Copies of this chain bind each other. A is one copy, B any other.
Amino acid sequence: MIGIDWGTTSFRAFRLDDQGAIVDRRAAPRGILAIEGARFEEELLRQVGDWIADGETRVLMAGMIGSRQGWQEAPYVRCPAGAADIAAGAIPVPFAGAALRILPGLTVTDAAGVPDVLRGEETQIVGALAAMAEVAVACLPGSHSKWAEVEGGRITGFATYLSGEAFAALRGHTILGRTMREGPNDTAAFDRGLARAADPGHLLHHLFGVRALALFGALGEAEGASYLSGLLIGHEVRAACAGDGASVHLIGAETLCGLYARAIAARGAQAVVHGEEAAARGLFRLSAEVNWQ
């Protein structure tokens, strides 16, 4: 089968054998925002047409490809939801080359009536389920970081944090960015930001401190962005993670997971890093529950 994680900014495809082992993979910066004129079928064939020509008959997709801006909308499934619930929400998409299904995202509503959503992360969480305890917490860092609670193999709830996008906006479009220079992550500065997040005071106040520290020469131009990153991730982790020594299952890109693992350790919890293959495992696991008829 072919499993695809097709998000806002990237396209990742896995060719999986009958046991779910990855026999081939493709990745391209061809997220749905990059596809002009909604030519998703054309793009799919360009990326993995050779696998289909070679005999693959099932294509399962997850992520923003199932959003209103994607190929076809797969309505959100409500939490709590396990693999069977997610698979039942898959929608068939007309496609000449193979049976094609798009998985749904999940939604949850908090006590105040405010909704939350995710798309693609449900599949990655399903892919990491086998490594999780009966009750577990998963964190999927990114522009919109997701923190999900898992119980008995079902995603019971989750919350999104805008940390990644807020970082980019604050760095690129406020006075804070004026004293920041491009460069590699500075671990010491990141840790200072993490420590600052644990101080009394609201994030909106801590943010101005980035400016004031720079003004007095107490935060260098090569340190500023890492400090800001540590500050935001620190605030997110402190808010989302109880820090009672429990494990947090981190799923995502290696570098970002490394930063979150540091923040989780500083919080007094410990990170179990899953890596990006969780998506492939989730797609394989869900394909067994999807109605392919």
Q: Using CB atoms and an 8 Å cutoff, list the residues of chain A in contact with chain B.
A: 110-112, 114-117, 144, 159-163, 165-166, 168-170, 172-176, 196, 199-205, 207-209, 211-213, 215-216, 218, 232, 235-236, 239-240
Contact = CB atoms under 8 A, between A and B. Distances in A.
A199 B166 contact: no
Contacts of A201: 110, 159, 239
Contacts of A209: 114-116
A203 to B, nearest CB: 6
Given A208-B116, A216-B115, A166 B174 contact: yes
B169 A199 contact: no
Contacts of A199: 110-112, 114
A63 to B, nearest CB: 16
Interface-central residue, A110, A162, A165, A235, by most chain B CB under 10 Å:
A162
B196 A114 contact: yes
Contacts of A165: 174-175
B204 A117 contact: no
A253 B225 CA distance: 32
Contacts of A115: 209, 212-213, 215-216, 218
Contact of A204 (B112, B175, B211, B232): B232
A203 B218 CA distance: 27
B208 A160 contact: yes
Contacts of A207: 161-162, 166
The 9 closest A-B pairs by CB, nearest first: A202-B239, A160-B208, A162-B207, A169-B169, A161-B204, A169-B173, A114-B209, A115-B212, A165-B174
A255 B161 CA distance: 30
A219 to B, nearest CB: 10
Nearest to A108: B212
B212 A160 contact: yes
Contacts of A211: 162
A218 B114 CA distance: 9
Contacts of A215: 115, 117
A218 B117 CA distance: 14
A239 B169 contact: no
A58 to B, nearest CB: 30
A110 B162 CA distance: 27
B161 A170 contact: no
Contacts of A114: 196, 199, 209, 212-213
Nearest to A218: B115
B159 A170 contact: no
A225 to B, nearest CB: 15
